[in-house]
Amino acid sequence: MAHVAFVRRGCPVVLPMAFGRDGDRMFLHGSTGAGAFLASRDGLDVSVAVTHLDGLVFARSAFDSSMNYRSAVIFGRAVLVPAEDKQDALRAVTEHLVPGRWDEVRPPTPKELAATTVLVLALDEVSVKVRAGGPGDDPDDGEDRSVWAGVVPMRTVVGVPERSPLTDPALPLPPSVTSLL
Amino acid sequence: MAHVAFVRRGCPVVLPMAFGRDGDRMFLHGSTGAGAFLASRDGLDVSVAVTHLDGLVFARSAFDSSMNYRSAVIFGRAVLVPAEDKQDALRAVTEHLVPGRWDEVRPPTPKELAATTVLVLALDEVSVKVRAGGPGDDPDDGEDRSVWAGVVPMRTVVGVPERSPLTDPALPLPPSVTSLL
């Protein structure tokens, strides 16, 4: 998930959105509401953050306590994806979220495509930050060694798939789901 | 983790930051770099998003595919926490990330406090969105029932704690760590 910031009437707005990537282009796809904010013929200056939290860093002081993470912050002008490229852009978003799913489901109808706003942003200006590893641990730092220090890793996992009421229990899980498990 | 958006020289910027909460106030604490952007005597208009991804929604069409999530987007003016309140604000941030950790570690020195920027934001204007449950599943929707539909839940979990090199292996895990496991 990406967090997309833009300026509306002089004030900052940030919204969570789904995204996809194709090489040096990023596609952004939000709810209709979010799309309406963002839709503009001339494009819209945005800043987009994608962040993964990898762990909690337990130092022996409050000051040195930290988090391990990877973040990318992109700056640029997002523009509407033209109608003829919209399907490919949506495929990129779906494939980013759930690889393989696009070819398992019904593609969008022309009406559905028309109701969908997708933006494209060039990955030209990107700031990447990574914090990894343990807390600073220096024999001469004067900290109290009776305090446990280290890292507690964090990750996102998937749970047990829950079929919808109208899905036949005999239907096997599709490859896009089993590959997540 | 929160994503904090603000306007710098007319352009949007979004940054990941740690946060804490005390009733109807939110505290924001970022790296020194982020803090420097944000530090301003008059305060700074921000939009802050906190988002939890709860699952992937597998519909039978690309158009109805979705995500389950909870998000809060806050709008307001963040102001610097005055020196005398900074320690309490940092405690709120630490306790939000790792309940119980604050009392296990050395509190900040006056020098460390001076080097730390914390902002406070009133939770007056907040937009909350939740999407939960399965895909739309209507007997008359005309979708192909041979396609599996349902939800794959997602959650964030912690892994095995890794002690730092200078942490005595005989030292038991502190309550703040064991309560996460």
Residues A118-133: tens digit of each pLDDT: 999 999 999 999 999 9
DSSP β-bridge partners for residue B131: B69
**B12 → closest Cβ in A47, A61, A161:** A47
* Those residues with Cβ within 8 angstroms of residue B102's Cβ, 6 or more apart along the chain or in another chain: A62, B91, B94, B95
Alpha-carbon gap: B179 to the closest alpha carbon of chain A (Å) = 12
Question: Terminus-to-terminus CA distance in chain B, angstroms?
Answer: 19
Q: Provide the pLDDT for residue B42.
A: 84
Q: Provide the pLDDT for residue B40.
A: 73
Euclidean distance between CA atoms B27 and A12, whole angstroms: 18
Over residues B85-109, the mean pLDDT reads 96
Alpha-carbon gap: B97 to the closest alpha carbon of chain A (Å) = 8
Chain A residue numbers touching B14 (CB-CB < 8 A):
3-5, 14, 47-49, 73
Residues A3-41: tens digit of each pLDDT: 999 999 999 999 999 999 999 999 999 765 555 666 677
What radius of gyration, in Å, describes the C-alpha atoms of chain A? 21
Q: What is the mean pLDDT of chain A?
A: 93
Q: Provide the pLDDT for residue A115.
A: 86
Asked if B25 and A58 count as a contact pair (C-beta separation under 8 A), the reply is no
Determine contact: B130 vs chain A, CB below 8 A: no
The DSSP letter of residue B65 is -
Question: Tokens 């505290």, residue?
Answer: B27
Over residues A162-173, the mean pLDDT reads 97
Burial class (CB in 10 A: 0-12, 13-18, 19+), B53: middle
Q: Give the SS3 label for residue A33.
A: helix
Asked if A177 and A162 count as a contact pair (C-beta separation under 8 A), the reply is no
Burial class (CB in 10 A: 0-12, 13-18, 19+), A144: exposed
Determine contact: A128 vs chain B, CB below 8 A: no
Euclidean distance between CA atoms A28 and A13, whole angstroms: 15
ipTM: 0.94
Euclidean distance between CA atoms A141 and A149, whole angstroms: 13
Task: Output the CA angle A120-A126-A129, nearest 5 degrees.
Answer: 135
Nearest to B129 by CA among A169, A46, A31: A31
Chain A residue numbers touching B61 (CB-CB < 8 A):
105-108, 112
Residues B53-64: tens digit of each pLDDT: 999 999 999 999
Question: Tokens 């997602």, residue?
Answer: B154
Whether the per-residue pLDDT at B165 is higher than 80: the answer is: yes
Containing A113, the helix (H) or strand (E) segment is: helix A110-114
Q: How many CB atoms are located within 10 Å of the residue A136 CB?
A: 16
Alpha-carbon gap: B140 to the closest alpha carbon of chain A (Å) = 11
Interface of B with A in 49-78 (CB under 8 A): 49, 51, 53, 55-56, 58-63, 65, 67, 69, 71, 73, 75
- Give the tokens for residue B137: 């599943």
Strands A44-58 vs B66-80: parallel, antiparallel or unpaired? unpaired
Q: How many CB atoms are located within 10 Å of the residue B86 CB?
A: 21
Euclidean distance between CA atoms A149 and A61, whole angstroms: 9
Containing A127, the helix (H) or strand (E) segment is: strand A125-131
Percentage of chain B lying above the pLDDT 70 cut = 95
Euclidean distance between CA atoms A101 and A105, whole angstroms: 7
Q: Provide the pLDDT for residue B137.
A: 87
Whether the per-residue pLDDT at B156 is higher than 90: the answer is: yes
Q: Provide the pLDDT for residue A34.
A: 59
Q: Name which of A20-34, A48-62, A117-131, B113-127 the model is least confident about.
A: A20-34
| Beta carbons of A62 and B102 less than 8 Å apart | yes
